[in-house]
Copies of this chain bind each other. A is one copy, B any other.
Amino acid sequence: MKLVFLGTSAAQPTTRRGLSCTCLKVEGEILMFDAGEGMQVPYLRSKLGWNKKMRIFITHLHGDHCLGLLGLLQTMSMQRRTESVEIYGPPGTDEFVAANARMLGFSPSFPVIMETTEEGTVVDAPGYEVSACRAEHSVEAFSYRFSEKGGPGRFSTEKARGLGVPEGELWGTLQGGSAVSVGGRTVLPSDVLGEGKRGRTVGFSGDTRPTDKLAEFFQGCDYLVFDSTFADEMVKRARETGHSTAAEAAALAKNAGVKNLILTHFSARYSDTDDLLREAQKIHPSSYAASDLLEVEV
């Protein structure tokens, strides 16, 4: 599983940073969080592929987070994509796509399934779940949390044989999590299965103030990608504009028991992010600054 950062600038692009777009590459599938203008070029550079199974999650309807959707749908059509795309976003996302498709005269070559994001579970797929929580921004905005589903531990054929369970149907029953009876004795799944696999979790804040609600939502995330628009000295501006400082992101990550914090969405005024990273690391040492095309193994 891999995080790929395609755009890490806030509001406007710089010559080094594009607009918001982060992909989570999961087993033959791409989960995209926001699609800012210009995300196609870094998408190409990252070789993520045009016909992969794809779900797109829009945090809010500001151009720097959703304008790239339109060109992306057109390019995927020109690439003769056949696989459907699911797009989740706040109310109005469907109108934004439909109105522009009409005004710009395009119709995708593949099914586009639009779903309005509400709080709670947004996607329940075989291998993972994505849930949403209301963020605090200048417009209606959502944060998302990806949770890989945990798996059972490894089945020990030696232990099963040792306990007299014959190979065949009964092994399947134990692997499925149910007890079996062998010669009058009960064998439990825990007798033959190793420790269960813990699912990995990744959070995406989108644009937001840090809130207690989000700290709870992101509780225990392995990775948290969080709004870090401003340095500490601009906390007033962060409050006014519905964003967070790097230090505020770090404080939330610490309170939420987040393992690794990845700062992103840097104001174009910062030519480098050293100060912001330093401010975050003072509070939460496991903090990193995203850059365009950065890839992180999760």
Write out the residue numbers on chain B whose beta carbons fall within 8 Å of the beta carbon of A100. 63, 96, 100
Contact of A106 among B38, B63, B78, B95 (CB under 8 A): B63
- A11/B62 contact (C-beta < 8 A), A38-B38, A103-B95 known: no
Q: Which chain A residues (44-93) contact chain B, with CB distance < 8 Å?
A: 44-45, 61-64, 66-68, 70-71, 74-75, 78-79, 92
Name 17 A/B residue pairs within 8 A (Cβ), A-sorted: A12-B71, A12-B75, A13-B40, A13-B41, A13-B71, A13-B75, A14-B41, A15-B44, A15-B45, A37-B40, A37-B70, A62-B104, A62-B105, A63-B74, A92-B103, A100-B100, A105-B139
Give how many copies assemble into the complex. 2
Q: Which of B18, B61, B68, B106 contacts A104 (CB 8 A)?
A: B61
Cβ of A112 under 8 Å from chain B: no
Contact across chains for B78 and A11 when beta carbons are under 8 A apart? yes
| A45 closest partner in B (C-beta) | B15
CA distance A103 to B100 in the complex (A): 10
16 new A-B contacts at CB < 8 Å, known A38-B41, A66-B104: A13-B40, A13-B44, A13-B75, A14-B41, A15-B45, A18-B41, A37-B70, A61-B103, A63-B74, A63-B100, A67-B67, A92-B103, A96-B103, A99-B99, A100-B100, A105-B139
Closest beta carbon of chain B to A80's beta carbon, Å: 12
List B contacts of A12 (CB < 8 A).
40, 71, 74-75, 78-79
Q: In the complex, A38 Cα to B39 Cα: how many Å? A: 8
CA distance A40 to B78 in the complex (A): 24
Most chain B beta carbons < 10 A, residue from A18, A62, A66, A105 = A105
CA distance A100 to B98 in the complex (A): 12
Q: Which residue of B lies closest to A75 (CB)?
A: B12
Contact A67 B70, beta carbon cutoff 8 Å: yes
Q: Are B103 and A71 in contact (CB under 8 A)?
A: no
In the bound assembly, the distance between CA atoms of A25 and B173 in angstroms comes to: 75
CA A103 to CA B11, docked complex, whole Å: 16
Nearest-neighbour CB distance to chain B for A47, whole angstroms, equals 10
Given contacts A11-B78, A15-B45, whether A37 and B68 have CB atoms under 8 Å apart is yes
A18 smallest CB distance to B (angstroms): 7
Tell me, in angstroms, the Cα distance from A256 to B37 when the chains sit together.
Answer: 38
A104 to B63 alpha-carbon distance, docked (Å): 6
Residues of chain B with a CB closer than 8 A to A44's CB = 13-15
Take A38-B41, A40-B13 as given contacts and tell me if A70 and B63 are in contact as well, using a CB distance cutoff of 8 Å. yes
A78 to B62 Cα, complex, angstroms: 14
What 9 pairs across the A-B complex have the smallest Cβ distances? A38-B38, A12-B75, A37-B71, A63-B104, A96-B103, A13-B41, A13-B40, A15-B44, A63-B70
- In the assembled complex, which residues on chain B have CB atoms less than 8 Å from the CB atom of A61? 103-105
In the bound complex, what is the Cα–Cα distance between A104 and B93 (angstroms)?
10
